[in-house]
Structure formats: C-alpha cells, structure tokens
Amino acid sequence: MAKNLFVGKLPYSITDAELEEVFAKVGKVVSAKVIMDKVTGQGKGFGFVEMETEEDAQRAVSELNNSTLDGRNIVVNEARPREPRENNRY
C-alpha cells in the first residue's frame, strides 16, 4: 500500500522530477509533487512524495530527513490527513 510523505524546507527552485529523483534513490516512488505558488509559479518550499510501500516510506524518512538538498536541510515525515477548512465567506 502506498504511503504519502510530507517534504518541507525544499529549495524554491526544485521541480517535481528532481524531487522524484532524490526519493527514487531510497525506494520506489509512485508520485512526487512540489506545491507551487499560483502567482509566481515558484515552489512554496514544500511538497509530497508517495512511496510504493510502507518500508520504502520508512527508509525515505530515516535516510532523507534532515539531509541536505541544494544547500537546504530538508524535513521528511509522514503526511497527515488534510483537515477540512471552514469557509469564512458569508
């Protein structure tokens, strides 16, 4: 079963393909997505990687958390489920 990981403190210039390449070194990647700013088109500094198995996900967390990517120490941990947001419109 696939496992979703949160990746934070990413370089703003990283692409989906580059993020996938980093995680593919430790296991099978199902998908990799850098969250982009809608206005500037630049990365927001975080993203999500879906690993094929729980074992691959655990290996990614243990080997890549606090590792350096383009001069930045990245954070890798298990993604939490998205919480529902309230609609503050009247």
pLDDT tens per residue, range 4-16: 999 999 999 999 9
54 is a domain residue:
yes
Residue 85 has pLDDT above 90, yes or no: no
Structure tokens at 74: 């990245």
Overall domain count for the chain: 1
59 is a domain residue:
yes
89 is a domain residue:
no
CA distances for 64 relative to 10, 13, 77, 83, angstroms:
12, 19, 9, 26
87 is a domain residue:
no
Quote the domain boundaries for residue 70: 3-78
58 is a domain residue:
yes
**Residue 89 banded pLDDT, cuts 50, 70, 90:** low
- Mean pLDDT over residues 82-89, rounded? 75
pLDDT tens per residue, range 21-70: 999 999 999 999 999 999 999 999 999 999 999 999 999 999 999 999 99
Residue 24: exposed, middle, or buried by beta-carbon count in 10 A (0-12, 13-18, 19+)? middle
CATH number at residue 60: 3.30.70.330
Sign for the pseudo-dihedral over CA of 53, 84, 75, 39: positive
